[in-house]
């Protein structure tokens, strides 16, 4: 007689916690390695309008210029990355990919030549805008509440999209935020189209 085995998937919030924690662990491992070996990974940031700098579009959000830089990004990555994934792993990962590419490409195209940009703040600013915008576009109460909470907590940080503090990549912040808006808009349109039923 045949048998049947049922498998239960972990809730999205548990998967989100695991993925976000694993990503932060990777950030720390990379920075520890970088510090122990004389910072060779710093060269893999986004270097605007150079052929070598194109690699940084893929690598820069995982790299940091020292532990102070990483420490300042760790809690926002944990909080915002978790929230971006918790209401849908697939959509959250796709949003992160959009933010990652738009942010890095924007820096490569428009930042000052001769500069080097790295850090997870591209993702942080993208997630802030994504979380704020998506709830209002989707009109889902849970996502609206999350968006309001994120706005109250991080709206002041959005001033980082403006030129100001030396050594801070406002271009990374700006294009990360643009990527977050595009992700919210594109993924919301897709979700509505998939939910549309005709008779």
Burial of 148 (0-12, 13-18, 19+ CB in 10 A): middle
Percentage of the chain beyond pLDDT 70 is: 89
Helix axes 121-138, 67-86, angle to 10 degrees: 20
Does 68 have pLDDT greater than 90?
yes
Average pLDDT of the segment spanning 170-190: 91
Q: So what's the pLDDT on residue 197?
A: 42
Q: So what's the pLDDT on residue 139?
A: 82
Residue whose entry in the numeric block shows the structure tokens 């990962």: 93
Residue 192 confidence class, pLDDT cut points 50, 70, 90: low
Average pLDDT of the segment spanning 95-110: 98
Query: What is the pLDDT of the chain when averaged over all its residues?
Result: 89
More confident call, 10 vs 173: 173
Percentage of the chain beyond pLDDT 90 is: 75
Average pLDDT of the segment spanning 53-82: 97
Q: So what's the pLDDT on residue 66?
A: 96
Reported as a single tens digit per residue, the pLDDT across 37-48 is: 999 999 999 999
Q: Per mean pLDDT, which range of 23-27, 111-115, 158-162 is the poorest?
A: 158-162
Distance CA 23, CA 95 (A): 15
Nearest to 13 by CA among 111, 89, 124, 117: 89
Helix axes 141-154, 121-138, angle to 10 degrees: 140
* 12-192: CATH architecture: Up-down Bundle (1.20)
Do residues 161 and 174 make contact, with C-beta atoms less than 8 angstroms apart? yes
Residue 3 confidence class, pLDDT cut points 50, 70, 90: low
Residue 8 confidence class, pLDDT cut points 50, 70, 90: low
Average pLDDT of the segment spanning 17-26: 98
Do residues 185 and 133 make contact, with C-beta atoms less than 8 angstroms apart? yes
Q: Residue ranges of the domains in the chain?
A: 12-192
């Amino acid at each position: 007689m045949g048998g049947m085995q049922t498998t239960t998937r972990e809730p999205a919030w548990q998967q989100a916690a695991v993925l976000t924690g694993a990503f932060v662990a990777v950030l720390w491992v990379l920075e520890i390695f970088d510090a122990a070996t004389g910072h060779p990974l710093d060269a893999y940031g986004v270097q605007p309008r150079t052929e070598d700098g194109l690699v940084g579009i893929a690598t820069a959000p995982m790299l940091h210029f020292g532990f102070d830089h990483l420490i300042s990004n760790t809690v926002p990555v944990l909080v915002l990355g978790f929230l971006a994934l918790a209401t849908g792993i697939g959509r959250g990962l796709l949003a992160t990919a959009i933010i990652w590419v738009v942010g890095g490409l924007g820096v490569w195209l428009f930042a000052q030549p001769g500069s080097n940009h790295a850090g997870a703040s591209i993702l942080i600013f993208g997630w802030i805008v994504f979380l704020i915008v998506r709830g209002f576009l989707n009109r889902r109460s849970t996502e609206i509440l999350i968006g309001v909470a994120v706005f109250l907590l991080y709206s002041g940080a959005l001033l980082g999209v403006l030129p100001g503090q030396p050594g801070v990549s406002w271009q990374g912040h700006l294009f990360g935020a643009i990527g977050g808006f595009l992700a919210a808009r594109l993924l919301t349109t897709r979700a509505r189209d998939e939910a549309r039923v005709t008779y």
